[in-house]
Structure 1
Amino acid sequence: MDEHNACEYLETALTVFVIGASGDLAKKKTYPSLFALYASGYLPEHVVIVGYARSTKKDADFRKQIAPYIKPKTTEAEAKKEDFLSKCIYRSGNYDSAEDVGKVSKEMEAFEEAHGTSVVNRLFYFAIPPTVFEPIGLSIKKAALTSCGWNRLIVEKPFGHDLESFNKLSKDMGALYNEDEIYRIDHYLGKEMVQNLLVLRFSNTIFEPIWNRNYISSVTITFKEDIGTEGRGGYFDSYGIIRDVMQNHLLQVLSLVAMEPPVMAAGNNYSNYIRDEKVKVLNCIEPIKLENTVLGQYEGDKERNEPGYLDDPTVPKESVTPTFATAIMYVNNPRWSGVPFIMKAGKALNERKGEIRVQFRPPPAAEHMFPGVEIPVQELVLRLQPEEAVYMKMNMKSPGLQTQAISSELDLSYSERYEGTEVPDAYTRLILDVLRGKQAAFVRDDELRAAWKIFTPLLDEIEGQKVKPLPYTFGSRGPKESDELVNKAGFQYHHVQTQEMTQRRRPANRKGPRSAEHRKFMSPHLLDPRSTCDSPLLSSSLEISTTVAMAQNVDDKNTAIKTFVLKGKTPQDVSGASTTASSSDDGETKRKMDYIEKEKDEMTVDSDELPRRSRRKRRVVILLSPSEVSSRYKRRIVEPKVQTLLKTRPVAAIDAADYVEAAVKEKKRNQIAAKRAKKTVCKGKTTPNGLVSPVQDEKKKTPKKKRSTKARRSLEPAYCFDLQTTYVSKLINELYEEQEQDDREMYNITRETVVNETSSCMCSQQIENLNMEEFRRLMTYGEVSVESVATTILPLLDLGENDVFFDLGCGTGKILVQAVLQTPCKRATGIELMQNRVLEGHKALKRLQERDIAILRNKQIEIFRGDIFVPPEQARLMDATVVFINNVMFGPALMLKVMELLKDMSKLRCVITLRKICERHGDVKCTRAGNFCIEYVHPPIEAEIDVSWADKTSVYLYESLDYKLRELRRQLANGTTGSTGWPKVDGASKWRRA
């Protein structure tokens, strides 16, 4: 179908059925992608999107569940969000019931007829496990297909477990639907750079003539993740890294790199032309041999508190499932004979990266033409993630008097070249292709069969022999045997050799229009960290040293030259020899030099002190001109900026003129902003009794009081809810932003997973006995909005410096983070039963720690995994002064245990809950001796808040009578009196007694 004429569906009635709408995949990928299409005008105005799953939900409740995942990127899209949600409805039923599916279909026919068109199209998105493909497919075939338009099915991977299981699945689906109705989605084929492969290869004359064994020495396809399998280890263990990534994602990329030119790559029926060529090249690949494979499994890193694969409670302790694999395969055809195609994929590695690296053969007779000069390897690199880029590594002569070949780059980074251009999400692009009827980016039946033929013999051998994977540390590059294997196959790591780069004298105040390019030619390796990122030698042992030398030019003896020596250890150096740099310096040199070199030795950070994504030893070389930093004012500005830069930049050479100018401008902007802030009325200034006061009168001006030197130097923050909530909300969203994960997010947590994770819980046996309705209720995870926490819960709690705040059932710890950010409280602790939520919380806290926010330097946030009814955890709770409990899903028996626990907390002054602790009394005070509620002020204070599972709900604050009596005695003893009640805000009834 021609792409320019592929939008006829916009004039028809369209119904989208999302099967498995209650799962993670549908919420996180399917609905956001459908919204992106709707906001861009690629869905009909009268589209209906039907969510279908087994669980029962109301339309309003379902919309609230998917709304947080729909994040408009523009104001125009924001205006369409509510309209889109109104088109989303939810219906429940069994997957194997044609009757249930037929009822929904008949209901949709009424919507379709109201559109007033004779053409009706239906799209079915299977966001479900493959075990239910056949039952739901049969039900749809019997009762839900349209006869007035097209029917198309999007099917999510995995497509089988091996060749045999795939053949069965293919036979079952093939008996129900035609091949042109089935769209097997692999989201890697929707990525921008993967889509760019065909255009790059076949529309550029320079590539196709050299795209063969005569010019290319190796092709490497890499998939690296810096996170482990936390939260889905039980599922991952049944598949492993080969089935999870290599057999599908990476093999699809390989087929696009190695395929022959298709007859057509656009126009009518071009999809089959492309897929025909992919099948041909896959049939030329021999099954992978075990000797051409390296398997690994990551171990924990105690220093960084990173768990190992086997530390996951959902993973069997004797598991030999690989989390890392390197495989070498060969394409037996005239174009690629003898060229190794290297696949590398792994979890818990040193960085997150996906790329294609094509290495070219050395130029013929280069050794004879350039005797004694080593020619660096030439490469074409396509970076798939995290930021799309294409760059070509080429060789050129280094500037200077000596003939040396250095590697330079022709760089096309999408974020720089196409700044402001939005790169569409892979799922958005692929769903649009389905609507247009384009199948080129979807996997055909015979493609999958050829793929399983390549990998099934290897998988059978690994599992039959129970091959034990090699261990590697969390955050490393993987097993060293992997590097040895690819070196043996012919891959060359691109690393920086020992070179002396000369930089000629340049006036300090002279800057040409291409000064940045000039500096890059002078010191390319200082400016570009990518030159060294792929070398295992340099990633573990790179040393940067500087030498300042006086060079006498034969023609001009007064010319002073500064020499930078960038030394990477040779194999001999790694074994024990040390690399040193000579240094000659005298008064004459200092007098004549234009630039001074300022080494920050104290900032040389070892790999253990760096985040996982940056493991090399580093030193930043700062070039500063004395005349440009002579003033004390500018030095005061530059120094802290340099310190910050040293922590955030990998390797950089910075021109002081640019840097000082930018720093001075930023300082002035901050001063202007500070003056404006003083004129702004603070809507949330704290009153003496600790509550948010009403907005102050703008006309009422008080004389300014000059702050003391001690006060000006103090870093203690002023806590202002209204001013900080926007920032805090953005920060929390960034900390807890979901990382791109594989397609397995659709699988719900099983009963077995919960039982394993709660094995230490006193209620574990009760969980095993729960029916499915009770189990779903237990697993419901809801959150209180950031705004409600800031404007209602935190003012109610009135947290002070000496308070110890506990969140029982804290989930991922968002309220803990918000409490320490927006109140003076210095200690916040959460306890959570579910392992996956605790791990996500730990990741967020690490990201928060890396930001080094001044307000948190003397504060402590902790999240523990545990059961509050186990004595060791109860002992931890005894220091609590304020407790928050989201007890919406707590049953009466569980609440009785919670009440007994709260009674034992002697330091507790207040408790806030989302349901009344003792609901059976209503508004009547409890009179039963020993009950928790008689020890607290009755009735509790009630306030409304926004939550994720309802429009509004109430929170209840219980104040300790014992604490109020202690405070009253203390005030009387000190001769002071004060109200121990809770005043209202603005005289309004925002808070009331329940």
Structure 2
Amino acid sequence: MNAYTNPLRDPQDRRLPRIAGPCVLVIFGVTGDLSRKKLMPAVYDLANRGLLPPGFALVGFARRDWENQDFAKVVHDAVKEHARTPFREEVWEQLLEGIRFVSGAFDDDAAFERLGDTIRELDTTRGTGGNHAFYLSIPPSGFEPVMTMLRKHGLTEGGEDNWNRVVIEKPFGHDLASARELDAVVSSLFQPHEVFRIDHYLGKETVQNMLALRFANQMFEPIWNNHYVSHVEITMAEDIGIGGRAGYFDGIGIARDVMQNHLLQLLALTAMEEPTSFEASQLRTEKKKVLAAARVPERYDLHTARGQYAAGWQGGKPVIGYLQEDGVPEGSGTETYAAIRVDVDNRRWAGVPFYLRTAKRMPRRVTEVALSFKRAPHLPFTATDTEELGTNALVMRIQPDEGVTLRFGAKVPGTQMEIREVSMDFGYGGSFTESSPEAYERLILDVLLGDPPLFPQQEEVELSWKILDPVIAYWASLDEQPEQYESGTWGPQSGHDMLARDGFSWRRP
């Protein structure tokens, strides 16, 4: 096996890599950033690691007036610039033989006729066997017309010996009602096991390591409850602004964009009970129990906060505020900072607040889950023996410095008893020689294998919207702009006040 052998093994035989079978992957929206920076490089990296069969084909669908060779050049350049593994000519040549492009709009019957002809040609020439995955890397407004055309032209019809699957990128609707409407469309075309809702955070190695940390180690599980944990902080901070995405972001806001999916999924993984196995059904069952028990306390003025970045300094350079960004309407009330308190009403977590925050234009980019523990009930030291000790904490870093930090008190070397806070750190980069696959590598491979454990199902989506919808409705009812916070700072004062009322403060990542 080469250096890029899949680290994820077949559960029946861990000596063998999981290799996808013959299939066609059709990507709608291949001209977008997601396709260029993530999807195409992930396909190449899977091929480079020997995880795609010779009978694999990639079809791009977009409005551009391209021929097959034009699209192949786009894929080649994307791979060269963004692939994780080294470029190898023999791997590229094998992929190139199965690359096709179909030009057309989402409501163009002739284009979908050409798509059908292209897929059938690949089934014959590449031996893809009638197995097709349709990846909708497009705005949510395009989901229904694309899927309707797929059905109209017979592209969703499978047989006993082949399969058709659809991949949907978040957001899964913009509220509970729209999520249900979207599901009605999807369910009319595909069976539940054929639908893969992509949340790329669930493909990150370190997110999956949360499960290993909890359930493979006896030392953590006995204290993973309200007897020992005082509160939990889940943070996803970005140091960039909206980056020219005003057309997408404004009117949606960061709570819908990130909190409804990424952060609530992280909460579910943190708070869930141990599953009986890591089969998809068992993982989903335990996550749904958490989401069903989760709620934001009804005093939304006390337990939520929203903000909008103003001008400031980022990385030593002046930056403009959200309202000055190109394409943002004057007086926009869209939030770029969102924080909420979530209570999980079950025996394990009763009384432990979970604080979720996400924002743009923060001092640094970081995603982490931090469990802070209660103080020891008695310290047999004099006041002069200890510096100002914080609480013990276990911090799971999702990105960018993937790893785990354990914070505790330790004696300072010397003849006197002096206690000081220290950290014990584990970093993936320093402990494993094999680099972690990108999230989209894992997720695309799971789609092609038909393996669903990392994909949220419709009930999880609806439960998440039930938690967030009342908060968004409350914010919309306010006759005021989101609180301004200076770019390069840790958010508005209301976000800090939310924790201070409970006697806590945000940890500084």
Aligned to 1:388: 402
- For residue 280 of structure 2, the aligned residue among 271, 286, 295 is 271
Distance of aligned partners of 1:375 and 1:12 in 2 relative to their CA distance in 1, 3 Å threshold: closer
Distance (Å, rounded) in 2 between the aligned partners of 1:206 and 1:55: 56
Q: Does 1:322 align with 2:335?
A: yes
Counterpart of 2:472 (choices 459, 472, 495) is 459
Look up the SS of the partner of 1:283 in the other structure: helix
**Gapped regions of structure 2 (runs ≥ 5):** 1-8
Whichever residue aligns with residue 138 of structure 1, its letter is T
Two-structure CA RMSD over aligned residues (Å): 2.3
Output the CA distance in 1 between the equivalents of 2:469 and 2:85.
46
Contact 1:294 1:327 in 2 (8 A): yes
Q: Find the counterpart in structure 2 of residue 706 from structure 1.
A: none
Q: Which amino acid aligns with 1:401?
A: T
1:65 to 49, 65, 74: 74
Pair 81,193 (structure 1): closer, same or farther in 2 beyond 3 Å: same
Picking from 56, 62, 68, the partner of 1:47 is 56
Q: Is 2:417 the counterpart of 1:403? A: yes
Mapped partners of 1:244, 1:107: distance in 2: 35
Higher strand share: 2
- 1:286 paired to 2:295: yes
Paired residue secondary structure (2:26): strand
State the SS of the aligned residue for 1:486: helix
For residues 452-475 of structure 1, give each alpha carbon's deviation from its aligned partner in whole angstroms, at most 9, with x where no partner exists: 000111111111224421111111
Decide whether aligned partners of structure 1 residues 162 and 364 sit closer, same or farther in structure 2, where only a CA change above 3 A counts: same
Check conservation: 1:218, 1:490, Cα contact below 8 A.
no
Task: Give the match for residue 695 of structure 1.
Answer: none
Q: Is the 8 A contact 2:10 2:18 kept in 1?
A: no
In structure 1, the partner of 2:118 is 107
Give the distance between the partners of 2:399 and 2:448, measured in 1 at CA: 26
> Which letter maps to 1:178?
Q
SS at match of 1:412: strand
Q: CA deviation at 1:98?
A: 5.2
Amino acid paired to 2:165: R
TM-score scaled by length of structure 2? 0.90
**Preserved contact between residue 20 and residue 445 of structure 2 (Cα < 8 Å):** no
Contact 1:288 1:454 in 2 (8 A): no
Who is 1:132 aligned against? 142
Amino acid paired to 1:61: D
Cα distance change on mapping 1:493 and 1:181 into 2, 3 Å: closer
Match for residue 427 of structure 2 among 392, 413, 424: 413
Structure 1, residues 338-390: CA drift from partner, whole Å, max 9, x if none? 10100111111111111111111112222xx2232454310101111112011
Whether contact under 8 Å (1:376, 1:405) holds in the other structure is no
1:141 equivalent in alignment to 2:177: no
Q: 1:356 aligns with which of 361, 369, 373?
A: 369
| Cα distance between partner residues in 1 of 2:188 and 2:321 | 44
Give the Cα separation in 1 of the matches to 2:38 and 2:346: 39
SS in 2 for 1:456: helix
The partner residue of 1:80 within 81, 87, 91 is 91
Aligned equivalent of 1:345, options 343, 349, 358: 358
**Aligned pair in 2 of structure 1 residues 252, 361: CA closer, same or farther (>3 Å)?**
same
Question: How far does residue 105 in structure 1 lie from its aligned partner after superposition?
Answer: 2.1
Return the offset for 1:234: 3.3
Q: Residue in 2 aligned with 1:979?
A: none
Matched, 1:304 2:345: no
2:206 paired residue number: 193
Name the SS for the 2:444 alignment partner: helix
1:122 maps to what in 2?
132
- Relative to structure 1, is the Cα distance of residues 477 and 115 closer, same or farther in structure 2, using a 3 angstrom cutoff? closer
Instruction: Find the residue that maps to 1:438 and give its secondary structure.
Output: coil
Q: Distance in 1 between matches of 2:127 and 2:306?
A: 59
Identity of aligned residues (%): 37
Residues 1:308 and 1:243: Cα distance change in structure 2 (over 3 Å): same
The offset of 1:4, in angstroms, is 4.5
Is 1:3–1:436's contact at 8 Å kept on the other side of the alignment?
A: no
User: Structure 2 vs 1, CA of residues 8 and 99 (structure 1 numbering), >3 Å: closer, same or farther?
Assistant: farther
Closer, same or farther in 2 for the Cα pair 1:279/1:305, shift >3 Å?
same
Per the TM alignment, residue 288 of structure 1 is displaced from its structure 2 partner at its CA by 5.2
2: CA distance, partners of 1:284 / 1:101: 44
Compared with structure 1, are the counterparts of its residues 380 and 154 closer, same or farther at alpha carbon in structure 2 (3 Å cutoff)?
same
The structure, 1 or 2, with the larger RCO (C-alpha pairs under 8 Å, 6+ apart) is 2
Residue 115 of structure 2 aligns to which amino acid in structure 1?
A: V
- Helix, strand or coil at the partner of 1:175: helix
8 Å CA contact 1:234, 1:314 repeated in 2: yes
Instruction: Report the AA paired with residue 488 of structure 2.
Output: G
For residue 155 of structure 2, what is the amino acid of its counterpart? A
CA distance in 2, matches of 1:112, 1:238: 42
TM-fit CA distance, 1:29: 1.5
Q: Deviations over 1:473-531 (max 9, x none)?
A: 1111212332232133243566xxxxxxxxxxxxxxxxxxxxxxxxxxxxxxxxxxxxx
Distance 1:92 1:29 in 2: 21
Match of 2:165 among 147, 152, 162: 152
TM-score, normalising length: structure 1: 0.47
Decide which moves more: 468-477 or 183-192: 468-477
Amino acid at match of 1:29: K
- Tell me whether 1:24 sits opposite 2:33 in the alignment: yes
- 1:666-685 matched pairs, under 5 angstroms: none
In structure 1, runs of 5+ residues without a counterpart are 495-532, 535-994
Which structure's CA Rg is the greater one?
A: 1
1:547-946 correspondence to structure 2 within 5 Å: none
Does the CA contact (< 8 Å) of 2:21 and 2:53 recur in 1? yes
In structure 2, what is the equivalent of residue 230 of structure 1? 243
